[in-house]
Amino acid sequence: MPKLSAVLFCCLLLASCGEPKPRIDYSGPVAGWPEFGNTDGTRFSPLTQITPGNVAALEPAWEYHTGDYAGARDDAGQTSFSATPILDNNTLYFCSGLSRLFAVDAETGQERWVYDAEPEHEAIEWTKTCRGVALWKSREGQGVCKRRLFMGTLDGGLVSVDAQTGKACADFGESGRVDITAGLGDVRHNEVRITSVPVVYGDLVISGHMVADFSRADSPGGVIRGWDVRSGELRWAFDPVPPGTRPLPDNPDGSPNFHRGTANAWSILTVDQQRGIVYVPLGSANIDYTGGHKKDMPVDVDYYANSLVALNALSGEVLWSFQAVHHDLWDFDMSAQPSLIEVWKEGEAIPAVAQATKMGHLFLLHRETGEPLYPVEERPVPQTDVAGEYTSPTQPFPTFPPPLHPGKLEPEDAWGFTFYDKGYCRDKLATHRNEGIFTPPSERGSIHYPGMAGGSNWGGVAFDPERRWLVLNQNEVASVKTVLPKNQFPHGEIPEEFWPMEGTDFAVKFELLLSPFGVPCFEPPWGTLMAVSLDTGEKVWEVPFGTTRDMVPGLSVLPFGLNYGLPSAGGPIITASGLVFIGASLDNYLRAYDIESGEELWRGRLPAGGQAIPMTYRLAADGKQYVVIAAGGHSAMHTKLGDSLIAYALPD
Going by pLDDT thresholds of 50, 70 and 90, the confidence category of residue 435 is very high
**CB-side exposure of 482: number of CA atoms within 13 Å?**
16
pLDDT digits (tens, 9 = 90+) for 296-338: 999 999 999 999 999 999 999 999 999 999 999 999 999 999 9
**For residue 358, what pLDDT is reported?**
97
Please state, in angstroms and as integers, the Cα–Cα distance from residue 247 to each residue in 210, 229, 238, 256, 299, following that order: 22, 25, 11, 9, 11
**For residue 496, what pLDDT is reported?**
87
Query: Distance between CA atoms of 290 and 63, rounded to whole angstroms?
Result: 46
398, pLDDT greater than 60: yes
**For residue 641, what pLDDT is reported?**
94
Higher-confidence residue of 190 and 552: namely 190
**For residue 559, what pLDDT is reported?**
62
User: What order do you get walking across the sheet with 644-649 strand by strand?
Assistant: 59-65, 644-649, 625-631, 615-618
Do residues 584 and 637 make contact, with C-beta atoms less than 8 angstroms apart? no
Indicate the length of the chain as a whole number.
Answer: 652
Backbone angles phi, psi at 51, to 5 degrees: -125, 170
Q: Please compute the mean of the pLDDT values over residues 336-347 and round it to a whole number.
A: 96
Query: Distance between CA atoms of 513 and 522, rounded to whole angstroms?
Result: 9
390, pLDDT greater than 50: yes
Q: What is the per-residue burial (b if ≥16 Cβ within 10 Å, else e) of 373-400?
A: beebeeeebbebebeebebbeebbbbeb
Going by pLDDT thresholds of 50, 70 and 90, the confidence category of residue 479 is very high
**For residue 552, what pLDDT is reported?**
61
Higher-confidence residue of 29 and 496: namely 29
14, pLDDT greater than 80: no
Q: Please compute the mean of the pLDDT values over residues 604-633 and round it to a whole number.
A: 97
Query: Distance between CA atoms of 401 and 363, rounded to whole angstroms?
Result: 8
2, pLDDT greater than 70: no
**For residue 551, what pLDDT is reported?**
74
- Amino acid at site 327: H
Query: Distance between CA atoms of 360 and 362, rounded to whole angstroms?
Result: 6
**For residue 558, what pLDDT is reported?**
56
Query: Distance between CA atoms of 613 and 585, rounded to whole angstroms?
Result: 11
pLDDT digits (tens, 9 = 90+) for 75-92: 888 899 999 999 999 999
DSSP tag of 330: S
Nearest Cα to Cα of residue 345 among 314, 310, 372, 318: 372
Instruction: Give all domains of the chain, ordered by start, each with its CATH number.
Output: 33-125+463-473+528-652 (2.140.10.10)
**For residue 141, what pLDDT is reported?**
79
Looking at 40, 272, 328, 331, which residue is catalytic? 331
How buried is 5 (Cβ within 10 angstroms: 0-12 exposed, 13-18 middle, 19+ buried)? exposed
The percentage of residues in the chain with a pLDDT greater than 70, rounded to a whole number, is 95
Rounded to 10 degrees, what is the CA torsion of 105, 108, 110, 116?
50
Q: Which long-range contacts (CB under 8 A, 24 or more apart) does 535-539 make?
A: 535/344, 535/468, 537/374, 537/400, 537/401, 537/402, 538/401, 539/401, 539/404
Q: Please compute the mean of the pLDDT values over residues 133-142 and round it to a whole number.
A: 92
Which residues are CB-neighbours of 418 under 8 A, at least 6 positions away? none
pLDDT digits (tens, 9 = 90+) for 204-246: 999 999 998 888 999 999 999 999 999 999 999 999 999 999 9
Tell me the three state secondary structure of residue 14.
Answer: helix
Least confident of 100-109, 212-221, 262-271, 463-472: 212-221
Distance of CA 372 to the CA centre of its chain: 23
Query: Distance between CA atoms of 615 and 624, rounded to whole angstroms?
Result: 14
562, pLDDT greater than 50: yes
pLDDT digits (tens, 9 = 90+) for 267-290: 999 999 999 999 999 999 989 899
Backbone φ/ψ region at 569: left (φ over 0), alpha (ψ -120 to 50), beta: beta
Going by pLDDT thresholds of 50, 70 and 90, the confidence category of residue 190 is confident
- Secondary structure string (H, E, C) spanning 135-186: EEECCCCCCCCCEEEEEECCCCEEEEEECCCCCECCCCECCCEEECCCCCCC
Task: Please confirm, yes or no, whether 464 is among the known catalytic residues.
Answer: no
- Amino acid at site 79: T
**For residue 16, what pLDDT is reported?**
38
Q: Please compute the mean of the pLDDT values over residues 347-360 and round it to a whole number.
A: 97
Q: Please compute the mean of the pLDDT values over residues 533-552 and round it to a whole number.
A: 92
640, pLDDT greater than 80: yes
**For residue 4, what pLDDT is reported?**
38
573, pLDDT greater than 50: yes
Q: What is the per-residue burial (b if ≥16 Cβ within 10 Å, else e) of 115-144?
A: bebebebeebebbbbbbbbbbbeeeeeeee
Going by pLDDT thresholds of 50, 70 and 90, the confidence category of residue 12 is very low
Q: Please compute the mean of the pLDDT values over residues 92-114 and round it to a whole number.
A: 97
**For residue 560, what pLDDT is reported?**
60
DSSP tag of 83: -
Backbone angles phi, psi at 646, to 5 degrees: -120, 135
Task: Please provide the average confidence, as pLDDT, over all residues in the chain.
Answer: 93
